[in-house]
Amino acid sequence: MEERSGTHAQRALLALRKRILGGELPGGTRLFEVALAEELGISRTPVRDALSRLAAEALLDRASGGGFVVRSFAVRDVVDTIELRGVLEGTAARLAAERGAPEPLLAEARDILRQIDALFLSQDFDMEGYSRLNSAFHALLARLPQSDVLLREIERITALPFASPSAFLDDSAHMAALTRTLSAAHDQHRALLEAITNREGFRAESIAREHARAARRNVEFLLTHEPAQREGVPGLAILAG
């Protein structure tokens, strides 16, 4: 029974998160356990768990009169969060360089970069593959200094939909420009790993911070488009402007 409840909670979480990020549930929408349970065809307990998880992810606020309210975010929220991720990843990179990262993790990072290299050589760029590998590289970066404190805080901030290293990458309408941006970002991947390997702490931190700003520039690029041109880009629907 407990396993089934967990499965229902996961299904509710995924369904609600998708609807929020896609704009089907815009900022200010009130959500109630009973109505959602009936809509999803499950009991209230897994819905309650899913709503609590979405509140922890900062996608929902608890309403004073009960239930939850879908949050909306200003562009400034996105910028500030990405900047903070850059600070945390920069610190992780510096400590990894100063302490010396374990060779097995460095080898794993080099392998991820080789797989990304192959994507850029392909005639049809695989955005989904890039997003997956890019996220894997950043997750590994957080592990390199072997700091539980840093790892926990980086995981906490990247759980926000617009703070992930791969947020806002699905912009097929402007693929050529986006691919150029990603190619430059991947050059920073290589430079960052080189600095960590060579124990260059200051350089590693500087590259990591600058690299995070590439995500900010991508968001700003997308926000210059007309709304119709931005349809389908994950996360943009929750921005209030």
- Looking at the chain, the domain(s) classified CATH 1.10.10.10 span 2-70
Tens-place pLDDT, residues 7-61: 888 888 888 887 887 778 888 899 988 999 999 899 999 999 999 988 887 789 8
Backbone angles phi, psi at 234, to 5 degrees: -55, 135
Does an H or E element contain 62, and which? strand 60-62
Tens-place pLDDT, residues 93-147: 999 999 999 999 999 999 999 999 999 998 888 888 898 899 999 999 999 999 9
The size of the chain, in residues, is 241
Q: Which residues contact 121 (CB under 8 A, 6 or more apart)?
A: none
- Predicted TM-score (pTM) of the model is 0.73
| CATH tag, 2-70 | 1.10.10.10
More confident residue, 21 or 233: 21
Separation between Cα atoms, residue 132 and residue 66, nearest integer Å: 37
| CATH tag, 75-238 | 1.20.120.530
- Looking at the chain, the domain(s) classified CATH 1.20.120.530 span 75-238
User: Do 55 and 68 contact (CB within 8 A), yes or no?
Assistant: yes
Q: Answer yes or no: is pLDDT of 226 > 50.
A: no
pLDDT at 5: 53
- Measure the CA dihedral 222/225/226/232, to 10°: -30
